[in-house]
Structure 1
Amino acid sequence: MAATDLLVIIVAVIFSRLLAIYFPGSLINTTTGCRLIILLVYASRNCSVWLTVAFTFDRFITICYQKLRTEYCTEKVASFIIAIVCVLCCSVNIPFYFIYEPLYTIDSVGWYCNIKEIFYTSVVWRLLETLDRIQTPCLPFVLILLLNALTVRHIIVAGRSRRRLRSHSNENNQRDTEMESRRKSIILLFAISGSFLLLWLTYIVYFLLVKISGARFLIGSNLNDPKFILQESGYMLQLLSSCTNTCIYAVTQTKFRGQLKDAFNYLSKLVTKCHKQ
């Protein structure tokens, strides 16, 4: 997850946005380079989203199905699922490489990317675009929401049973670390679902507006155009969504916070030592 999220930032932010804007004559701005960058953006974004779904499913199995956990939650199975997800996400986005043509041509070299007219008129391309929006982000969000809801339901039911058992024992006045851990799991699951929904909401709203009104996606439009601002805001929040889940999962882990604290303590001691010297 961290690797694919980092790849999204490198490809979609650094290469597609920053380098393309501030180095206009570079190889990235040729039509071939532009196509490759867009393909990598689609693939890395989908990998990031679907690995989040896979990780959510892994947590669902871990918490709700203790017996299945020993067989499913293994390094071998995780590696296999990661490979399958990455291969599929790259494969399904290959057709989008061919929807772009040169914006203009200089000395037989195509520069920048412009969406072909057939993309807006062909039934096949419209179907592919709709399927792409369904598989990212609509279907992942439904799966994440469903899996998290089932996991929370299991935690709540198990918590009620645990409280009934503790009420008949002598452990009422003792700290229930298991229940505290389950409450943290609920907060984590809601944080994942909430951030995914909120950060993709603008993108989904703009896509629906385009589909309903029959408009086109804007490229290099007037920066003061409300539609262009909404479109770019949706893209920005969508890219931000690729970062938040890994951060949320990592920060909520006790071991991660402990190692992060140790790293800060080491740096502070090192700075203090250098200052004394």
Structure 2
Amino acid sequence: MAAADFLVVISDVLLRWLIMYFPVSFLDITYVCSLVTVLIPATTMNSVWLTVAFTFDRFVAICCQKFKSRYCTEKTAAIIIGTVSVMSYLESMPWFFKFESKYIFNNLPWFCITKPVYYTSIYWTLFGVFHRLLSPTLPCIFILLLNTLTIRYVFVVSKARKRLQKDSDREKTSDPEMDKRRKSIILLFAISGSFIILWSPYMACFLYQRIALLHGYSPLSRTAGTIAYLLQLLSTCTNTCIYTVIQRQFREQLKTVMKLPFTRMLRSIKQ
């Protein structure tokens, strides 16, 4: 997930703005800027669907104890990561054919301009709808559904555990298992909430632009579109931070990495 989010930063932030602010570079070659246009949605979709896959993994680990031993393995994780990554890039390949060159210089096509057929072809329209359905409409639905089922399961198990404790006259003692499940609920609410909140402005702007084109409404302001776009980019890293920072093993390894230079320095001094 961290690697996928880092690729989003490279493609959707660095390369996009390099093309805009440093004109007439190798990035303006038609083949190169078309490839960048493929990488931008591909990396974003890969990041989004890896979040969905990880959410499903947590759902299985918490709610499906019998299936957990078979599914929650390193081999399954590698297969899921590879499949999601490959499918994300294959799905975005048609964007490469969206552009044509503005002019040819020394037998090399330069700059990317949208083909006129893109605005009139029913196939491009259907592909655009399909692409928006895959990112982020279906991921939002899956994340909400899985988190709802997980939270429901945790609440049911917690109530049963409280009844058992009450019957055993131990209701006043602390329960580490219930505290752990309570933290899991907070984590799931944070994940689903951040994902939906940060993607909602982007989807609202996209829908308004489509409706405005059909009915001749005034276009959306550039400021609103920019803010929605920035929030959408922010969503690619929030889930990774939430998932990793709250993990005890990750915090311990992070502390080890931060202490490593000082530890080696003290070791050298002692030697």
Fold-level match, TM-score > 0.5?
A: yes
User: In structure 2, what is the equivalent of residue 20 of structure 1?
Assistant: 19
User: In structure 1, what is the equivalent of residue 242 of structure 2?
Assistant: 248
Q: Which of 223, 231, 253 is residue 225 of structure 2 equivalent to?
A: 231
How far apart, in 1, do the equivalents of 2:212 and 2:261 lie? 55
Alignment of 1:137-216 (within 5 A): 137-214=136-213
Q: Deviations over 1:232-269 (max 9, x none)?
A: 32222211111111111001111212333344455677
How far apart, in 1, do the equivalents of 2:102 and 2:205 lie? 24
How far apart, in 1, do the equivalents of 2:22 and 2:46 lie? 28
How far apart, in 2, do the equivalents of 1:237 and 1:103 lie? 32
Alignment of 1:1-277 (within 5 A): 1-17=1-17, 19-214=18-213, 227-265=221-259
Q: Deviations over 1:26-70 (max 9, x none)?
A: 211222111111101111111100011010001001100101000
Could you tell me the TM-score, scaled by structure 2's length? 0.90
User: In structure 2, what is the equivalent of residue 221 of structure 1?
Assistant: none
How far apart, in 1, do the equivalents of 2:238 and 2:158 lie? 29
Q: Any conservation in 1 of the 2:244–2:250 contact (CA below 8 Å)?
A: yes
Q: What value does the CA root-mean-square deviation take over the aligned residues?
A: 2.2
Q: Against the structure 1 CA distance between its residues 158 and 97, is the aligned structure 2 distance closer, same or farther, given a 3 Å change threshold?
A: same
- Partner of 2:23, secondary structure, is coil
How far apart, in 2, do the equivalents of 1:269 and 1:77 lie? 37
Residue 175 (structure 1) shift: 2.0
How far apart, in 2, do the equivalents of 1:269 and 1:259 lie? 14
User: In structure 2, what is the equivalent of residue 222 of structure 1?
Assistant: none
Aligned partner of 2:33: which letter?
C
Structure 1 runs not aligned, ≥5 long: 216-224
Q: Against the structure 1 CA distance between its residues 269 and 80, is the aligned structure 2 distance closer, same or farther, given a 3 Å change threshold?
A: closer
Aligned partner of 1:95: which letter?
P
Could you tell me the TM-score, scaled by structure 1's length? 0.88
Structure 2 runs not aligned, ≥5 long: none
How far apart, in 2, do the equivalents of 1:111 and 1:175 lie? 68
User: In structure 2, what is the equivalent of residue 218 of structure 1?
Assistant: none
Q: Against the structure 1 CA distance between its residues 271 and 230, is the aligned structure 2 distance closer, same or farther, given a 3 Å change threshold?
A: farther
How far apart, in 1, do the equivalents of 2:104 and 2:201 lie? 34
Residue 154 (structure 1) shift: 0.3
Residue 20 (structure 1) shift: 1.8
